[in-house]
């Protein structure tokens, strides 16, 4: 059996009717796929993907974090579903259907995932929407889950159906109590570790970094620990960022809007090579430009830069650790700069600064802080914190993420994967807009998820992204 980490449990704790922690992928397949073929594939590969076979087992009275336990009666009739779009089956109809599915919470009595086979797309295509709970996977982990159902050739050899050698079992109540007591005794040590490890980096922790004295205390602690030989080498200073108010900050509704677009990777690389930046810098600049244009159209462009949350993976190369191995870095998103070249340069500099700092001192404060809190308090604390920051001072304006993917054709049930769009998370704390990019086979697929009431015209953003790339191409 495996217990959820404190960070994994946070994604369960903060969920409400409006804050939903689903992450998903929207696969567009060439041709038709039948549900029978998809069920056969899932049954064949499910033993390779632990989150598909595990459900949540709660500790009595919520005194400790839940456990993942084996679901011995995995019900594929429940998990694998199908539906059809009405004619003509346009991209906007597909996006509207995905937005409705994405807003629904997963049933915690079952393993936390669902698959929807969607027929009726224009051009004879089929869509596969796969939704998992963020408590089970992070962005890179989600990509790995989807990869388990994909092949590098249309007719691969069948794999033998296997089961885990040692199925996870639900711990007995007495065992849970003993483990809970051990964790309670360890909480002060976790809190001490958080304070020791976080004090030098208070200036990069959302909310805390804006408290009076946080930045000078952070600098002084780094200097002192270096003097006594215990601290890290000098790390780049981070600018003090104030989070301006935008129309997509505040409490999110229970409804979502979704839109998507594909951008040629070779054009993004053309910009990268012309200006000596990275692919990620270009993607971030495209997001900044698209959001700038949206804010101008709504007469809501702040004079100062927006603040974006950038997920960073903590996974070591080749590591296969389960659950969430991610932290959130914050950076300026220079929407206030009118000139596109200057905007690209500013984004490049901001990303260089946080990457240099992360490489010298990976930000593990989120994990350490989660571990330091007693499990019985974290559920209430997480929900209260989300509600408070939404009403007062959000830590970021939005989330922007760029996930590298394979650059070779892949197949699902013998059908070629044409595009893979990410569908991510919005919350009260992270803002009602999330722009996530995923590169695959020469294209960058961008998924834009938003709160329906905050950004009702979400389909303007894909057009703005395309225009932003054209603008940079014209400068090369």
Q: Is residue 318 part of a domain?
A: yes
79-88, 125-134, 204-213, 294-303: least confident range? 204-213
Put the strands of the sheet holding 80-84 in their side by side order: 80-84, 113-119, 126-133, 22-29, 415-423, 411-412
pLDDT tens string 451-470: 999 999 999 999 999 999 99
Q: How confident is the model at residue 320 (pLDDT cuts 50, 70, 90)?
A: low
* pLDDT tens for each residue of 367-386: 555 555 555 445 545 555 55
Residues 15 and 100 in one domain: yes
Q: Look at residue 443 and tell me if it is in a domain.
A: yes
Do residues 139 and 285 both lie within one domain?
no
| Summary mean pLDDT of the chain | 83
- Final residue belonging to a domain, choices 176, 197, 228: 176
The verdict on 169 and 287 lying in the same domain is no
- For the chain, the domain total comes to 2
Per the annotation, the verdict on 79 as an active-site residue is no
The residue from 65, 102, 133, 134 that is catalytic is 134
Q: What is the CATH classification number for the domain harbouring 141?
A: 3.30.559.10
Query: Do residues 396 and 430 touch, judged by C-beta distance below 8 A?
Result: yes
- In a domain, residue 223? The reply is no
In this structure, are 411 and 290 located in the same domain? yes
Confidence at residue 212, expressed as pLDDT on a 0 to 100 scale: 55
Residues 266 and 172 in one domain: no
Q: Which domain holds residue 392?
A: 243-475
Report the 3 state secondary structure along the chain.
Answer: CEECCHHHHHHHHCCCCCCCCEEEEEEEECCCCCHHHHHHHHHHHHHHCHHHCEEEECCHHHCCCCEEEECCCCCHHHHEEEEECCCCCCHHHHHHHHHHHHCCCCCCCCCCEEEEEEECCHHHCEEEEEEEECCCCCHHHHHHHHHCCCECCCCCCCCCCCCCCCCCCCCCHHHHHHHHHHHHHHHHHHHHHHHHHHHHHHHHCCCHHHCCCHHHHHHHHHHHHHHCCCCCCCCCCCCCCCCCCCCCCCCCCCCEEEEEEEEEHHHHHHHHHHHCCCHHHHHHHHHHHHHHHHHHHCCCCCCCCEEEEEEEECCCCCCCCCCCCEEEEEEEECCCCCCHHHHHHHHHHHHHHHHHHHHHCCCCHHHHHHHHCCHHHHHHHHHHHHHHHHHCCCCCCEEEEEECCCCCCCEECCEEEEEEEEECCCECCCECEEEEEEEECCEEEEEEEEECCCCCCCCHHHHHHHHHHHHHHHHC
What is the pLDDT, as a whole number, of residue 155? Answer: 86
Average pLDDT over residues 60-87: 88
pLDDT single digits (tens) 200-234: 555 555 555 555 555 665 666 655 665 555 555 55
**Are residues 458 and 364 located together in one domain of the fold?**
yes
Percent of the chain with pLDDT strictly greater than 90: 56
For residue 317, the model assigns a pLDDT of: 47
Q: Could you tell me the pLDDT band of residue 127, with boundaries at 50, 70 and 90?
A: very high
- 390 lies in a domain? yes
Query: pLDDT tens for residues 387-440?
Result: 656 566 788 999 999 999 999 999 999 999 999 999 999 999 899 999 999 999
Picking from 143, 176, 209, the residue at the C-terminal end of a domain is 176
Same domain, 8 and 83: yes
Domain assignment of residue 216, yes or no: no
In this structure, which long-range contacts are made by residues 71-74, counting pairs with CB atoms below 8 Å and at least 24 apart in sequence? 71/110, 71/111, 72/167, 74/46, 74/111
**Is 428 contained in some domain?**
yes
Whether 172 and 249 share a structural domain: no
pLDDT at 441 over 70: yes
Q: What is the pLDDT of residue 227?
A: 58
Q: Is the pTM of this model over 0.95?
A: no
Let me know whether 298 and 414 are in one domain. Answer: yes
**Does 236 map to a domain?**
no
Q: Do residue 150 and residue 291 come from a single domain?
A: no
Confidence of residue 13 (pLDDT cuts 50, 70, 90): confident
Q: Give the domain CATH number at 320.
A: 3.30.559.30
- pLDDT value at residue 373: 52
pLDDT of 96 above 80? yes
Same domain, 325 and 457: yes
264 and 171 housed in the same domain: no
In a domain, 202, yes or no: no
Domain end residue (candidates: 134, 155, 176): 176
């Amino acid at each position: 059996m495996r217990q959820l980490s404190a960070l994994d449990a946070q994604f369960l704790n903060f969920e409400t009717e409006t804050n939903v922690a689903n992450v998903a992928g929207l696969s567009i397949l060439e041709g038709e796929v039948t549900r029978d073929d998809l069920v056969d594939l899932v049954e064949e590969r499910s033993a390779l993907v632990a989150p598909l076979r595990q459900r949540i087992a709660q500790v009595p009275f919520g005194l400790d974090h839940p456990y993942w336990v084996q679901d011995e009666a995995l019900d594929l009739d429940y998990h694998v579903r199908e539906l059809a779009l009405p004619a003509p089956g346009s991209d906007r109809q597909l996006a509207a259907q995905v937005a409705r599915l994405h807003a629904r919470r997963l049933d915690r009595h079952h393993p936390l995932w669902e698959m929807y086979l969607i027929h009726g797309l224009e051009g004879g295509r089929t869509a596969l929407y796969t939704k998992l709970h963020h408590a089970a996977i992070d962005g890179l982990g989600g990509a790995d889950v989807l990869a388990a159902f994909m092949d590098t050739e249309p007719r691969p050899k069948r794999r033998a159906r296997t089961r885990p050698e040692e199925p996870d079992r639900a711990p007995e109540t007495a065992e849970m109590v003993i483990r809970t007591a051990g964790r309670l005794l360890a909480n002060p040590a976790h809190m001490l570790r958080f304070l020791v490890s976080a004090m030098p980096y208070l200036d990069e922790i959302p909310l805390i970094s804006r408290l009076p004295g946080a930045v000078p205390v952070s600098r002084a602690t780094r200097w002192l620990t270096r003097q006594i030989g215990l601290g890290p080498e000098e790390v780049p200073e981070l600018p003090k960022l104030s989070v301006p108010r935008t129309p997509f900050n505040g409490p999110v509704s229970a409804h979502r809007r979704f839109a998507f677009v594909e951008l040629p990777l070779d054009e993004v690389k053309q910009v990268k090579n012309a200006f000596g930046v990275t692919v990620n810098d270009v993607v971030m600049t495209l997001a900044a430009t698209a959001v700038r244009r949206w804010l101008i159209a709504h007469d809501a462009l702040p004079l100062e830069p927006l603040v974006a949350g950038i997920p960073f993976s903590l996974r070591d190369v080749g590591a296969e650790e389960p659950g969430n191995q991610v932290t959130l870095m914050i950076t300026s998103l220079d929407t206030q700069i009118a000139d596109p070249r200057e905007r690209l340069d500013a984004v490049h500099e901001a990303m260089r600064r946080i990457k240099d700092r992360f490489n010298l001192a990976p930000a593990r404060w989120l994990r350490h802080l989660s571990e330091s809190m007693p499990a019985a308090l974290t559920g209430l604390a997480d929900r209260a914190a989300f509600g408070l920051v939404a009403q007062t001072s959000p830590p970021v304006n939005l989330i922007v993420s760029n996930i590298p993917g394979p650059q070779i054709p892949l197949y699902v049930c013998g059908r070629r994967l044409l595009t893979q769009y990410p569908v991510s998370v919005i919350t009260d704390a992270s803002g009602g807009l999330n722009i996530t990019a995923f590169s695959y086979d020469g294209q960058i697929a961008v998924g834009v998820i938003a709160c329906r009431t905050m950004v009702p015209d979400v389909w303007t953003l894909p057009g703005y992204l395309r225009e932003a790339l054209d603008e940079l191409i014209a400068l090369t």
